[in-house]
Amino acid sequence: MPTESNDSTDERRETALSSAEESDLDRMRHLASLISRYDVEYHRDDAPSVPDGEYDARKRELIELEARYPEFADPNSPSQRVGAELSALFSEVVHARPMMSLDNAMDSDELRAWHGRVMRGLAAAQPTLFDDDANEDGDGNVADPGAPEPELICELKFDGLAVSLRYEQGRLVQAATRGDGRVGEDVTANVVTIADIPRELSAASPMPEVIEVRGEIYLPVDRFRELNEAQARARHALSEAVEGARQRLAGTAEDIPTTEQRKLESLAKLTPVDVQRRHPDYANARNTAAGSLRQKDPSIVATRGLSFWSYDVGEMVGGPDLGSAGEVFDYLGELGMPVNPEIRTFGTLAEVEEFCRTWERDRHRPSYEIDGVVVKVADLPLRSELGYTSRAPRWAVAHKFPPEERTTKLRRIMVSIGRTGRATPFADMEPVFVGGSTVSLATLHNQDQVAAKDVRPRDTVIVRKAGDVIPEVVGPVLAERPSDSEPWCFPDECPSCGSKLERNEGDANTYCRNRTCRDRVIQGIGHFVGRGALDIEGLGERTIVTFYERGLIAGPADLFGLIIDQLVGLEGFAEKSANSLLVEIEAARDAPLARLLIGLGIEHLGPTASELLARRFGSLRRIVAANDEELAAIDGIGPIIAASVTSFFADKGNAALVERLDQAGVRFDRVDGELDAPQVLAGKSVVVTGNLDGWHLSRDEAKAVITARGGKTPGSVNKSTFALVAGANAGQTKLDKAADLGVPILDDNGLRTLLETGELAAG
């Protein structure tokens, strides 16, 4: 048998690649060009076409392929690059020290693997410090339990853009973006408008002649929201102008000058989609921050409200000898640079993992976006020993949170019919793991939204799910759109009952007006028995559909007529489960009036207003008989709710439902607690927080009693809060805010006085 030389290996590689290998190499080339394009979109144009999670996943795939086929890897592969090309707008700045990127650890296994590499790197650099026999287990973890762990400093990973701020003799002389890590863009004129960034450093000892402060410019979430609210207002104003223009053109009496006539005509032509395109929503805080920083006009940047956190020092001449990251941050703080308060140093990886878990859970708590935790070796001499790869330090790693945006394939767009008849388009997608769960359905809101986003069946779409938020389709990835794709058309007919769908002028929603439409009825029953309403356990949508299709129920009142023989034998029902459902239904006959009102699904009538109506009128019959004025006389019930209630009961179908519920023996007058309590808290808002165990009433009771007295119980403290009721373990944010704003904080006795008099206890 011939021995295999290197030459023959190469030859085999070149001449006899298997088709699987061929396709891996094709994939590698494709990924390299894809990532180069994504880099340009992200770093240069501030307009990424795919979410970060998708970018990270593709880049990892490329790195893995390059590791498997090193001899075919392009030395200039984008996996080796830090950023992207620069735009022509700003002049170039060569960084005195390169601005590096960070390697990612996507889960705790990868974090442990990084830690293992650090331990091994240190052991190799300082053999005397470690036991020579130290060896690894199969996972790359250091098996020697005796090896000392280096201190690790944990910082939040801010989702903004990196800048380097150069101070000479204490004055800010230059601000540059990261660019490709070696050369960035000069954005000094814009950066000096950012209030958080000092133009002059505070006096510190010793004062550096030169210091490059590196950190992240970001847009606080509140500012991001405000900018989008401003866009929404601009859309609203433009829509009104369009409407005004149409009306003026339609009127015949007026003689409009030609130039104005033209202006009006072009306004009148604008569709809701055009309006959306002229004032689009900003996609996310990071891109908005990056886009803002690249504005040509610094006075615009000044209005955006950008902020800054520092996290590193580049070049420094004449400063102190700093030994650890903790000392670096203390020094930066002394110089007047913003240092994030959440930085922590830990002695063990286990503590670091706990820190990461906590922040993953609380990722939406800060007033700025974060997308992970950066873990760094704290000791600076140890950092030097570990050194750098071509793109990132070995002594740091970014532990990224699971992505809240991913891409997937949109299989089809469907339309669902709600209990009010509203037709809502939604996306049916290939399942994708995003924001902590697997998602395959996401709302597309309404016809205009589908058109504005221009999402089409078979598109690759970006799906977002932030925190508890329901999944949303952000938009299509146009580069991946099939060439024969066609825009999606909203159906003319109800997909459930076939009746014609209607859309009123000026309304974004489309409706099925057929009251007996199957989907409407089923959704209506689902709402009636749902949480917050009659809360009948064991009556999920599938069961309701079964009952409806068997002809056992045609509306909510029929539930109370069900008998055991009808249920036993149906899918999911044996004698025992049928019985317990009937017991639940029986109990629901006696539900509190406020919940019965919720169950009826009256537009605009939420739980607080239902409670107010129940306590003031005491029975459904009296509410049905009340007129607009009587209803609106209640503090907390405005004219919109009042009108909605009267028009609901004026409707023949709804009036018939009330009669049927009455005949079915549903109680109309159960009001728990006090009826018609003195309205001593009318117009006042009282926040309740913490655990009221041992108090004269529970937290829920406290809220109910405050509401019964006309007060409001919002979830957060602001300047219009009358008092904060704080039990044990009260939320610190609320306590701090109350202290800041001078809002009185009440204990059990204070609450007692408040409920009796509506005023604060003396002293």
Closer CB to ligand IVH, 157 or 456, in the complex = 157
Closer CB to ligand IVH, 100 or 705, in the complex = 100
**Three-class SS of residue 288?**
helix
Q: In the chain, how long is the greatest CA-to-CA distance?
A: 102
Distance of CA 456 to the CA centre of its chain: 24
Q: Which of 311, 368, 426, 722 forms a contact with ligand IVH (CB under 6 A)? A: 311
Structure-token match 């199957």, residue found: 518
Contacts with ligand IVH in 347-386 (CB under 6 A)?
374
Total site size for ligand IVH, rule CB under 6 A: 14
Q: Which of 393, 524, 711, 727 forms a contact with ligand IVH (CB under 6 A)? A: 393
Q: Is residue 688 close enough to count as binding ligand IVH by CB under 6 A?
A: no
Q: Is residue 157 close enough to count as binding ligand IVH by CB under 6 A?
A: yes
Provide the minimum distance between the beta carbon of 35 and ligand IVH in the complex, in angstroms, as a whole number: 15
Give the residue from 157, 200, 154, 170 showing the smallest Cα distance to 309: 157
Provide the minimum distance between the beta carbon of 89 and ligand IVH in the complex, in angstroms, as a whole number: 21
Q: Which of 32, 142, 162, 596 forms a contact with ligand IVH (CB under 6 A)? A: 162
Count of all residues that appear for the chain in the document:
763
Provide the minimum distance between the beta carbon of 164 and ligand IVH in the complex, in angstroms, as a whole number: 10
Site string for ligand IVH, 194-233 (x = CB under 6 A): ----------------------x-----------------
Structure-token match 């405000």, residue found: 226
Q: Which of 54, 185, 312, 459 forms a contact with ligand IVH (CB under 6 A)? A: 312
Provide the minimum distance between the beta carbon of 28 and ligand IVH in the complex, in angstroms, as a whole number: 23
Contacts with ligand IVH in 136-155 (CB under 6 A)?
155
Q: Which of 396, 596, 626, 702 forms a contact with ligand IVH (CB under 6 A)? A: 396
Provide the minimum distance between the beta carbon of 104 and ligand IVH in the complex, in angstroms, as a whole number: 7
Distance of CA 335 to the CA centre of its chain: 35
**Three-class SS of residue 51?**
coil
Tell me the residue nearest to ligand IVH as measured from the CB: 162
Provide the minimum distance between the beta carbon of 388 and ligand IVH in the complex, in angstroms, as a whole number: 8
Q: How many CB atoms lie within 10 A of CB 665?
A: 11
Closer CB to ligand IVH, 57 or 624, in the complex = 57
Whole-angstrom Cα distance, residue 525 to residue 559? 9
Q: Is residue 158 close enough to count as binding ligand IVH by CB under 6 A?
A: yes
Backbone CA torsion sign across 756, 760, 762, 763 = positive
**Containing H/E element for 121?**
helix 108-125
Closer CB to ligand IVH, 156 or 626, in the complex = 156
Q: Is residue 398 close enough to count as binding ligand IVH by CB under 6 A?
A: yes
Provide the minimum distance between the beta carbon of 419 and ligand IVH in the complex, in angstroms, as a whole number: 45
Tokens of 324: 């650890």
Instruction: Give me the amino acid identity at 342.
Output: E
> What single string gives the DSSP state of each residue in 706-727?
HHHTT-B--SS--TTEEEEEE-
Provide the minimum distance between the beta carbon of 101 and ligand IVH in the complex, in angstroms, as a whole number: 5
Whole-angstrom Cα distance, residue 281 to residue 301? 18
**Containing H/E element for 407?**
strand 405-417
Give the residue from 156, 194, 162 showing the smallest Cα distance to 97: 162
Closer CB to ligand IVH, 374 or 717, in the complex = 374
Backbone CA torsion sign across 116, 119, 125, 127 = negative
Site string for ligand IVH, 87-106 (x = CB under 6 A): -------------xxx----
Q: Is residue 403 close enough to count as binding ligand IVH by CB under 6 A?
A: no
Provide the minimum distance between the beta carbon of 669 and ligand IVH in the complex, in angstroms, as a whole number: 59
| C-alpha dihedral, 71 to 72 to 76 to 79, nearest 10° | -100
Contacts with ligand IVH in 625-644 (CB under 6 A)?
none
Provide the minimum distance between the beta carbon of 145 and ligand IVH in the complex, in angstroms, as a whole number: 30
Task: Output the CA–CA distances (angstroms, integers) from residue 642 to 261, 403, 613, 617, 620, in the order listed.
Answer: 42, 44, 10, 13, 14
Whole-angstrom Cα distance, residue 481 to residue 472? 19
DSSP category for residue 71 = G
Closer CB to ligand IVH, 374 or 382, in the complex = 374
Which of 59, 157, 453, 737 is the catalytic position? Answer: 157
Closer CB to ligand IVH, 97 or 503, in the complex = 97
Backbone CA torsion sign across 113, 118, 119, 121 = positive
What's the helix, strand, coil split of the chain in %, to 5? Answer: 40, 20, 40
Produce one character per residue of 466-486: b if its CB has 16 or more CB atoms within 10 Å, e if not. beeeebbbbbbbeeeeeeeee
3-state SS, one letter per residue, for 88-102? CCCCEEECCCCCCCC
Whole-angstrom Cα distance, residue 417 to residue 544? 16
Task: Output the CA–CA distances (angstroms, integers) from residue 490 to 62, 429, 458, 495, in the order listed.
Answer: 40, 18, 16, 11
Closer CB to ligand IVH, 371 or 519, in the complex = 371
Closer CB to ligand IVH, 372 or 526, in the complex = 372
Closer CB to ligand IVH, 399 or 670, in the complex = 399
652 is catalytic: no
- Annotated active-site positions, please? 157
Which spans of this chain sit near ligand IVH (rule: CB under 6 A)?
100-102, 155, 157-158, 162, 216, 311-312, 374, 393, 396, 398
